[in-house]
């Protein structure tokens, strides 16, 4: 998706306590430290840190980034419904919307990629790893950064001793994303075949 674009603007949003800023930082780190790109991160919090609105704006570019703030993202990653309601209208018409399936109910007709990230994290025994699952999912769907770069950024950013668990969470999200894409490809080829 992002292979031919010089610059990508991403908003990761949800509520405080979900690890939204860490998710944005991981994506930016992966681009800058391993994929040889420029990246910036701007973060904002609501009045309360835990439970309030939270947003990470990440710009990834092949060139120097002149302005780090985003008004119309190419990619919007929403981990709460209130965040979706706040930002979905700003997403570019051809943009990608990624959501936590159990926490966000999209109300527009735009194509959407959903993953039950929080539920999957709970199944792994750590609800707090939903953000890492979402990073894996985002990496697979958008190809913003390479898988190796993202995994490097994950293991460099999480608390010592949790690297293996977070790698597992990332891989769960990444594999889920790949299976989603494969399903869409099969659906598209089936439609094409039917029309012949």
11 in Cβ contact with 73 (< 8 Å): yes
Structural domain contains residue 137: yes
- By CB atoms closer than 10 A (0-12, 13-18, 19+), residue 105 is exposed
Q: In what order do the strands lie in the sheet with 96-100?
A: 38-45, 53-61, 7-15, 75-78, 96-100, 112-115
Model confidence over 53-67: pLDDT tens digits? 799 999 999 999 999
Helix and strand numbers, DSSP H then E, in the chain: 6, 6
17 Ramachandran zone, left/alpha/beta (phi>0; psi -120 to 50):
left
Average pLDDT over residues 146-169: 97
Structural domain contains residue 129: yes
Any idea what the CATH number is for the domain that residue 109 is in? 3.40.920.10
Average pLDDT over residues 170-186: 94
Structure token digits, residue 52: 């309030």
- The pLDDT of residue 187: 81
Compare 1 and 65 and report the one with higher pLDDT.
65
- Report the mean per-residue pLDDT for the chain: 91
Helix (H, G, I), strand (E, B) or coil at 177: helix
pLDDT band of residue 135 (cuts 50, 70, 90) is: very high
Compare 193 and 45 and report the one with higher pLDDT.
45
- The pLDDT of residue 193: 47
Domain limits at 170?
Answer: 7-195
Q: What is the DSSP letter of 59?
A: E
Model confidence, pTM: 0.91
Helices (H), 4-128: 20-29, 81-87, 117-123
End-to-end Cα separation, the chain, in angstroms: 27
Structural domain contains residue 2: no
Structural domain contains residue 51: yes
Model confidence over 22-60: pLDDT tens digits? 999 999 999 999 999 999 999 987 654 556 779 999 999
- The pLDDT of residue 40: 97
The structural domain count of the chain equals 1
């Amino acid at each position: 998706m992002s292979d031919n674009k010089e610059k990508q603007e991403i908003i990761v949003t949800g509520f405080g306590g979900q690890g939204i800023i860490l998710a944005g930082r991981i994506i930016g780190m992966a681009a800058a430290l391993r994929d040889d790109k420029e990246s910036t991160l701007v973060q904002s919090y609501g009045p309360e840190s835990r439970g309030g609105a939270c947003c990470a704006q990440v710009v990834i570019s092949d060139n120097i980034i002149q302005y780090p703030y985003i008004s119309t993202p190419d990619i919007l990653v929403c981990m709460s419904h209130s965040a979706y309601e706040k930002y979905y209208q700003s997403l570019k018409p051809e943009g990608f919307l990624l959501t936590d399936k159990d926490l966000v109910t999209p109300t527009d007709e735009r194509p959407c990629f959903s993953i039950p990230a929080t539920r999957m994290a709970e199944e792994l025994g750590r609800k707090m790893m939903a953000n890492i699952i979402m990073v894996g999912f985002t990496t697979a769907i958008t190809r913003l950064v390479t898988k190796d770069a993202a995994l490097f950024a994950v293991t460099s950013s999480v608390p010592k001793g949790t690297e293996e668990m977070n790698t597992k969470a990332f891989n769960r999200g990444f594999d889920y994303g790949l299976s989603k894409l494969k399903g869409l490809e099969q659906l598209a080829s089936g439609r094409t075949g039917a029309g012949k």
